[in-house]
Chain A
Amino acid sequence: MELSKDISGCGIAGFINTDGTLTSGIDIADSINLMKERGNGLGAGFAAYGIYPDFKEYYALHIMYDNEQSRKNTEAYLDRKLHIEQHGGMPTRIINKKRPIFFVYFVEPREQSTKAESEEFQSREADEFIVKLTMHINEKIDGAYVVSSGKNMGVFKGVGYPEEIANLFRIDEYKAYMWTAHNRFPTNTPGWWGGAHPFSLLDWSVVHNGEISSYGANKRYLEMYRYKCTQKTDTEVIAYLLDLIIRKHKFPLEKIGDIFSAPLWSEINKMQKKDKEFHTALRMVYGSALLNGPFSILVGFKGGIFGLNDRIKLRPLVAAKKGSTVYMASEESAIRYIVKDLDEVWMPDAGKPVIAKLTEEAYKNVY
């Protein structure tokens, strides 16, 4: 019975070049470093999208190992289950600190694992296969954690201040069209490398500031659909909820705020019939997926990002625009520090998502 969870305050930042321009990790590191006060050195991380253009057909598994043995066990398992196109240790700089080892694998399920007729079905099966594989490694293989598993994206995270993590993983050397970052201030669990943000599953990545008071309810809801919450942090459930609701249930991403930060009944009662029906049905069916408690989150997905607050806005979130780039962060200063003369700055409303996506053309170029 694993019911513990981690709670934390934090800083978050992220941006997307909607025209698909690739930016190095220097800006995002500067931006999150400015909010050093919002963390305490016990965790930081980055998610980057568009970093592996040469391997964009493959799932990029970032895996963290406690020791050589866990690596051997995991690789034996991966060999059995997958075709590994390329793999190797992740590029890191030397730091004077005990740390896990990190490997990246570019993989695809073997054909017989995903026998199917249509291409769409095949890709769905492949996704499902990777999810199960991830769950298996995280739960069953001692000392091994899949940090991220999406295509043409990756997560870099660990214990330390953001600048230390940025330095360790040499994120200044990666180029991405979208970055998110996290600076952590955990309040009870001691820092654990796997417990740092972002949390990621397939192409989803989540950075989160706040505490999900509904964690116990969300977790048990997810368990019903065979998700295993193994990383001892409430943020994990957001990634899994997205996977369940958007990928599996095919719920439109633009409306996920209506589930995570559902409108109050007092608001629903004032709506027109059609909207009222819509929101009533969502609250009935997805009540257990409501995220309660204070939060601001940035969610990266294939080709876009969205930011969302809890429905009574108990955590800060600022959004801004400059040209074709959209920025979001806990503090306005974190945005202004990396870009001068913003075109627009605004405070998103409680429970209303801010969504920014690649243009169609850029999407085609990247994916």
Chain B
Amino acid sequence: MKWMKNAKTYTPPDFAVIRDDERCIRCKACVEQCSFDATFYDEDLDKVWNWEAKCVGCDRCAAICPVEAITIKKRETPYRYNYSWYGHIDGLKKRAAFGGTPVVSMGNDKPYPVYWDHMLLNASQVTNPSIDPLREPMELKTFLGRKPDFVEFKKDGSLKTKLTPQIELNIPIMFSAMSYGALSYNVIESLGKAAQEVGTFYNSGEGGLNKDHYKFKGNVIVQVASGRFGVHKPYLDVGSAIEIKIGQGAKPGIGGHLPGEKVSQTISETRMMPEGSDAISPAPHHDVYSIEDLRQLIYALKEATEYTKPIIVKIAAVHNVAAIASGVVRAGADIISIDGFKGGTGASPQIVRDNIGIPIELALAVVDERLRQEGIRQQVSIIAGGGIRCSTDVVKAIALGADAVYIGTAALLAIGCTMCQQCHTGKCAWGISTQDPHLSKRVNPDIASEKLINLLNVWALEIKEVMGAMGINSIESLKGNRLNLRAVGLSEKDMEILGILPAGE
């Protein structure tokens, strides 16, 4: 019997599934919906049971149950509480039982400080009127790309300076790199539709671009990662910008990992690799072992696309991020994307996700400040990502110095994700991070894209409200405007790094 317990590999379940048998009408919807085999129906007893060890707490069954007979609850750990060992016991047992390192997904779930929540925004009173965005113009338009320090004109007043290619965003929020492979076809479709409607960009991630999605040309950023999956001329041509992925916030220092379970036939075609085999992209690019090599790759891509597209270099927020960013700018990147350690992933070893990298707030602050000190901030745009949860995080990021932000996890949450952290299994019951056709049709691109459009539009309005309160009517005037931030509950050193004053000063 598949629900038979195996004591050799036993760890206590994380969740309890509480059923109200009086309410249950035996419709078996939950059985059908559970992709983790945690729910089954016993014909002899005419009863629905749960195998709690397999429950991941995704809440799909409870959401689908027509009679609200199911409640999922977090189970208390049965072990005697021990502060220093708590949280390590199961991991230790799993390693011993299975002989491998646990793989996890989504972002770091440890209680590290969230600096966004220690920064407060300013508002105008009296001397500068606050502005109502519903009555007055309020501008969010943003251009990403290298800018010259100044412009020159011809005698007739027209521009002599030729600007390098830029990408134009109606709102300073883009969907971050999430590959076709990690996500289902329908989710990519939804992201593309929303980006197109709102006038922003989604990022292909490292998995190439399905031919069907070439239609999103004009609203897609294509990524070139160390595995080079699905990278070819037509692919580069579809992108409005090309992103070289050096690192990812959730897993700095290692490459991508798409488990073979998710490499379906269409994924294999798109990625140009065998079906069913693990798609492992190496930790470094095998042609980038130094900054000089990165420069060559940047220019190889510029040459290949005839200098028509800005090149983004994405790096993870690590200890020495400011110096790295400076080198990246000097190597020729037009845009630099910094990914904080709370960013999500479709699969990462737990040790890496939970212990490597630094918060995006600090990384962003030091990068912006360093580039300004070196007088090269104008030459590059900065995208901040990895842990942007709400519109005020966006405002705070821009005030710290970002030009725009990437959101990944937030977008997935908007279309149904419940952060059960099972993306790497390919069994996503919400149809998001799966290639199982039966599961992935649970995302309807029309409905999901509508939700994404709503999310972006609401965030845009919220950003406008907050800007209006500050008396600012254009996003440029917020960029790097750290005077509009005040710290609460931070150390002097934290504030020095963030370049902000304490509240009250």
Contacts and interface: CB of A to CB of B under 8 A. Distances in A.
B483 A7 contact: no
Contact of B482 (A220, A284, A287, A314): A220
Contacts of B141: 265
B481 interface: yes
B472 A213 contact: yes
A61 to B, nearest CB: 28
Nearest to A287: B476
Nearest to B378: A224
B150 A217 contact: no
B150 A288 contact: no
A213 B470 contact: yes
A253 interface: no
B477 A217 contact: yes
A312 B473 contact: yes
Interface stretch (B15-23, B124-132, B225-233, B302-310): B124-132
Given A249-B149, A294-B128, A283 B476 contact: yes
Nearest to B368: A220
A252 B153 contact: yes
Interface string A1-35: 10111011100000000000000000000000000
B477 A224 contact: no
A220 B477 contact: no
A262 B477 CA distance: 12
A224 to B, nearest CB: 5
Contacts of A285: 147-151, 163, 378
A283 B476 CA distance: 9
Given A224-B372, A277-B159, A284-B147, A217 B479 contact: yes
A214 B477 contact: yes
Interface string A243-263: 001001111100000000010
Size range of the interface on A?
35 or more
Contacts of A287: 474, 476, 479
A217 B480 contact: yes
Given A211-B128, A278-B159, A217 B478 contact: yes
B501 interface: yes
A220 B372 contact: yes
A284 B137 contact: no
A293 B161 CA distance: 29
A283 B474 CA distance: 11
Contact of A214 (B149, B159, B472): B472
A354 interface: no
A205 interface: no
Contacts of B505: 4
A341 to B, nearest CB: 36
A249 B399 CA distance: 26
Nearest to A310: B473
A9 to B, nearest CB: 6
Contacts of B409: none
A43 interface: no
Interface string B260-293: 0000000000000000000000000000000000
B326 interface: no
A216 interface: yes
B481 A210 contact: no
A287 to B, nearest CB: 3
A288 B480 CA distance: 9
Interface residues of B, number: 49
A270 B365 CA distance: 37
A264 interface: yes
Given A211-B471, A293-B128, A281 B479 contact: no
B150 A281 contact: no
A262 B129 CA distance: 19
Nearest to A251: B150
B499 interface: yes
Interface in B133-173: 136-137, 139, 141, 143, 147-153, 157-159, 161, 163, 166
B99 interface: no
B504 interface: no
B137 A220 contact: no
A252 B153 CA distance: 9
Contact of A274 (B143, B158, B471, B499): B158
B111 interface: no
A292 interface: yes
Contacts of B483: 3, 5, 215-216, 219
B496 interface: yes
Contact of B480 (A210, A221, A251, A284): A221
A290 interface: yes
B484 interface: yes
B377 interface: yes
Determine which residue in B143, B483, B500, B501 has the highest number of CB atoms from chain A within 10 A of its CB, and name it.
B483
A187 interface: yes
Given A213-B128, A281-B159, A292 B474 contact: yes
Contact of A1 (B375, B471, B481, B501): B501
Interface in B76-118: none
Nearest to B142: A287
A281 B151 contact: yes
Interface in A273-316: 274, 277-278, 281-285, 287-288, 290, 292-294, 311-312, 314
A351 B89 CA distance: 66
A211 B479 CA distance: 18
A45 B108 CA distance: 57
B480 A216 contact: yes
A225 B161 contact: no
B476 A290 contact: yes
B478 to A, nearest CB: 7
Contacts of A213: 124, 128, 470-472, 477
Interface of B: 124, 126-129, 131, 136-137, 139, 141, 143, 147-153, 157-159, 161, 163, 166, 372-373, 375, 377-378, 399, 470-474, 476-484, 496, 499-501, 505
16 contacts: A3-B501, A187-B127, A210-B127, A215-B483, A217-B476, A217-B477, A221-B480, A223-B372, A249-B150, A283-B476, A284-B166, A285-B151, A293-B128, A294-B128, A294-B471, A312-B136
Given A250-B150, A293-B124, 4 more contacts: A7-B128, A215-B481, A223-B372, A249-B151
Interface of A: 1, 3-5, 7-9, 187, 210-211, 213-217, 219-221, 223-225, 245, 248-252, 262, 264-266, 274, 277-278, 281-285, 287-288, 290, 292-294, 311-312, 314
What are the 8 closest A-B residue pairs judged by CB atoms, nearest first?
A216-B483, A287-B476, A214-B477, A249-B150, A292-B477, A216-B481, A211-B128, A217-B481
